[in-house]
Chain A
Amino acid sequence: MKSVESIELKEVVIRFSGDSGDGMQFTGMQFSDTSALEGNDLATFPNFPAEIRAPQGTVDGVSGFQLHFGQSHIMTPGDHADVLVAMNPAALKANARWVNEGGTIIYDSDTFNEKSLKKAGFASANPFKEERLDDRNVIGAPITSLTKEALANSGIDPKTALKTRNMFALGIVYWLFNRPLRHSEEFFDKTFKKTPELAEANKTVLKAGFNYAETIEALTRNYKVAPAKIDKGTYRNISGNVATAWGLLAAAEKAGLQLFIGSYPITPATEILQELARHKSLGVKAFQAEDEIAAICSALGASFAGSLAVTTTSGPGMALKTEAIGLGIMAELPLVVVNVQRGGPSTGLPTKTEQSDLWQALLGRNGESPLIVLAASTPANCFHYAFQAAKLSIEHMTPVVLLTDGFLANGSEPWRITPMAELPAIVPPYAQKTDSEYMPYARDPETLARKWATVGMEGLEHRIGGLEKQDITGNVSYDGENHERMIAIRAEKVRRVARSIPELEAFGDPDAKVALVGWGSTFGHLRTATEELNLAGKPVAHLHFHHLSPMPSNTEQMLKRFDKILVCEINTGQLADYLAMRFQDVRTLRYNKVQGMPLTVKEIKAQVNTIIGG
Chain B
Amino acid sequence: MTLNTKTLNLSAKEFKSDQEVKWCPGCGDYAILVAVQKAMPELGIPRENYAVISGIGCSSRFPYYMNTYGFHSIHGRAAAIATGVKLAKPELSVWQITGDGDALAIGGNHFIHEIRRNVDINILLFNNEIYGLTKGQFSPTSKTGAKTKTSPHGTVERPFHPGQLVMGANGTFFARALDTNIKHTTEVMIQAAQHKGASVVEILQNCVIYNDKTHAAITDREHKDDRQLLLEHGKPMLFGKKKEKGLRLRGLELEIVEIGRDGVTLDDILVHDAKTANPALHWMLASMEAPEFPVAFGVIRAYETPSFEDNVAHQIAEQQESSPIRCMDDLLFSGTTWAVN
Residues of A within 8 A of B (CB): 33, 36-37, 39, 230-237, 246, 249-250, 253, 258, 260, 262, 279-285, 287, 289-291, 293-295, 297-307, 309, 323-324, 327, 331, 416-420, 455-467, 475-476
Query: Within the complex, what minimum Cβ distance (angstroms) separates B4 from chain A?
Result: 11
Known contacts A282-B325, A420-B328, A420-B332; A260/B84 CB under 8 A: yes
A305 & B341 in contact (Cβ 8 Å cutoff): no
19 more A-B residue pairs beyond the given contacts A280-B315, A294-B109, A302-B87, with a C-beta to C-beta distance below 8 A: A231-B340, A280-B320, A281-B319, A285-B88, A285-B316, A294-B79, A294-B80, A294-B83, A294-B113, A297-B74, A297-B80, A301-B82, A302-B85, A327-B73, A461-B47, A461-B68, A463-B63, A465-B73, A466-B74
Q: What are the residues of chain A within 8 A of B318 when measuring CB–CB? A: 280
A294 & B110 in contact (Cβ 8 Å cutoff): yes
A459 & B69 in contact (Cβ 8 Å cutoff): no
Query: Within the complex, what minimum Cβ distance (angstroms) separates B105 from chain A?
Result: 14
Residue B252 lies at the interface, judged by CB distance under 8 Å to chain A: no
Q: What are the residues of chain A within 8 A of B341 when measuring CB–CB? A: 232
Mark contacts of B302-341 with chain A using CB atoms, 8 A cut-off: 1 yes-contact digit, 0 otherwise.
0000000000100110111011011111011101111111
A456–B331 Cα distance when bound, in Å, is: 31
Contact partner of B73 among A39, A280, A466, A476, CB < 8 A? Answer: A466
A306 & B89 in contact (Cβ 8 Å cutoff): yes
Residue B48 lies at the interface, judged by CB distance under 8 Å to chain A: yes
Query: Within the complex, what minimum Cβ distance (angstroms) separates A390 from chain B?
Result: 13
Contact partner of B72 among A237, A284, A291, A467, CB < 8 A? Answer: A467
A53–B56 Cα distance when bound, in Å, is: 44
Contact partner of A287 among B48, B83, B323, B326, CB < 8 A? Answer: B83
A456–B89 Cα distance when bound, in Å, is: 9
A39 & B340 in contact (Cβ 8 Å cutoff): yes
Q: What are the residues of chain B within 8 A of A476 when measuring CB–CB? A: 19, 64
Contact partner of B84 among A300, A463, A466, CB < 8 A? Answer: A300
The B88-121 residues at the A interface (CB cut-off 8 A) are: 88-89, 91-92, 109-110, 113
A95–B265 Cα distance when bound, in Å, is: 85
B328 & A305 in contact (Cβ 8 Å cutoff): no
Residue B70 lies at the interface, judged by CB distance under 8 Å to chain A: yes
Q: What are the residues of chain A within 8 A of B89 when measuring CB–CB? A: 305-306, 455-456
A282 & B327 in contact (Cβ 8 Å cutoff): yes
B69 & A462 in contact (Cβ 8 Å cutoff): yes
Known contacts A291-B109, A461-B47; A283/B88 CB under 8 A: no
Q: What are the residues of chain A within 8 A of B320 when measuring CB–CB? A: 280-281, 283
A459–B67 Cα distance when bound, in Å, is: 10
Known contacts A260-B88, A290-B109; A305/B80 CB under 8 A: no
B88 & A306 in contact (Cβ 8 Å cutoff): yes
Q: What are the residues of chain B within 8 A of A291 when measuring CB–CB? A: 109
B328 & A465 in contact (Cβ 8 Å cutoff): no
Q: What are the residues of chain B within 8 A of A234 when measuring CB–CB? A: 333, 337-340
A302–B89 Cα distance when bound, in Å, is: 8
| 26 examples of A-B residue contacts, CB within 8 angstroms | A232-B340, A233-B339, A280-B320, A285-B316, A290-B109, A293-B80, A294-B83, A294-B110, A294-B113, A297-B74, A297-B77, A298-B80, A298-B84, A302-B87, A304-B69, A304-B71, A304-B84, A324-B74, A417-B332, A455-B85, A456-B92, A457-B48, A461-B47, A464-B71, A465-B64, A465-B71
Contact partner of A461 among B69, B80, B82, B335, CB < 8 A? Answer: B69
B332 & A455 in contact (Cβ 8 Å cutoff): no
A308–B88 Cα distance when bound, in Å, is: 10
A186–B336 Cα distance when bound, in Å, is: 11
A327 & B83 in contact (Cβ 8 Å cutoff): no
A287 & B87 in contact (Cβ 8 Å cutoff): yes
Residue B28 lies at the interface, judged by CB distance under 8 Å to chain A: no
A455 & B319 in contact (Cβ 8 Å cutoff): no
Known contacts A250-B328, A258-B88, A289-B80; A297/B73 CB under 8 A: yes
Residues of B within 8 A of A (CB): 17, 19, 46-49, 51, 53, 56, 63-64, 66-74, 77, 79-89, 91-92, 109-110, 113, 312, 315-316, 318-320, 322-323, 325-329, 331-333, 335-341
Q: What are the residues of chain B within 8 A of A246 when measuring CB–CB? A: 328, 331-332
Q: What are the residues of chain A within 8 A of B326 when measuring CB–CB? A: 281-282
Q: What are the residues of chain B within 8 A of A301 when measuring CB–CB? A: 53, 71, 80-88
Known contacts A234-B338, A460-B48, A461-B47; A305/B333 CB under 8 A: no
Query: Within the complex, what minimum Cβ distance (angstroms) separates A380 from chain B?
Result: 12
A475 & B85 in contact (Cβ 8 Å cutoff): no
B88 & A236 in contact (Cβ 8 Å cutoff): no
A246–B49 Cα distance when bound, in Å, is: 31
Q: What are the residues of chain A within 8 A of B56 when measuring CB–CB? A: 466
A262 & B328 in contact (Cβ 8 Å cutoff): no
Contact partner of A262 among B48, B79, B84, CB < 8 A? Answer: B84
Of all chain A residues, the one with the shortest Cβ separation from B64 is: A463
A441–B79 Cα distance when bound, in Å, is: 25
Identify the 5 closest CB pairs spanning chains A and B, nearest first.
A301-B84, A465-B72, A281-B323, A298-B84, A297-B80
Of all chain B residues, the one with the shortest Cβ separation from A41 is: B340
Known contacts A249-B331, A297-B73; A235/B81 CB under 8 A: no
A37 & B336 in contact (Cβ 8 Å cutoff): yes
Q: What are the residues of chain B within 8 A of A302 when measuring CB–CB? A: 84-85, 87-88
Q: What are the residues of chain B within 8 A of A324 when measuring CB–CB? A: 74, 77
A305 & B51 in contact (Cβ 8 Å cutoff): yes
B113 & A290 in contact (Cβ 8 Å cutoff): yes
A466 & B72 in contact (Cβ 8 Å cutoff): yes
A283–B88 Cα distance when bound, in Å, is: 11
B48 & A456 in contact (Cβ 8 Å cutoff): yes
B46 & A458 in contact (Cβ 8 Å cutoff): yes
A36 & B338 in contact (Cβ 8 Å cutoff): yes
Q: What are the residues of chain A within 8 A of B323 when measuring CB–CB? A: 280-281
A455–B92 Cα distance when bound, in Å, is: 8
Q: What are the residues of chain A within 8 A of B331 when measuring CB–CB? A: 246, 249, 279, 282
Known contacts A297-B84, A301-B81, A324-B77; A459/B328 CB under 8 A: no
Q: What are the residues of chain A within 8 A of B329 when measuring CB–CB? A: 419-420
Query: Within the complex, what minimum Cβ distance (angstroms) separates B172 from chain A?
Result: 18
A295–B80 Cα distance when bound, in Å, is: 7
Query: Within the complex, what minimum Cβ distance (angstroms) separates B99 from chain A?
Result: 16
B70 & A235 in contact (Cβ 8 Å cutoff): no
A338–B338 Cα distance when bound, in Å, is: 30
A466–B77 Cα distance when bound, in Å, is: 12
Of all chain A residues, the one with the shortest Cβ separation from B117 is: A290
Query: Within the complex, what minimum Cβ distance (angstroms) separates A107 from chain B?
Result: 31
A235 & B338 in contact (Cβ 8 Å cutoff): yes
The CB with the most chain A CB atoms within 10 A, among B89, B113, B318, B327, is that of: B89
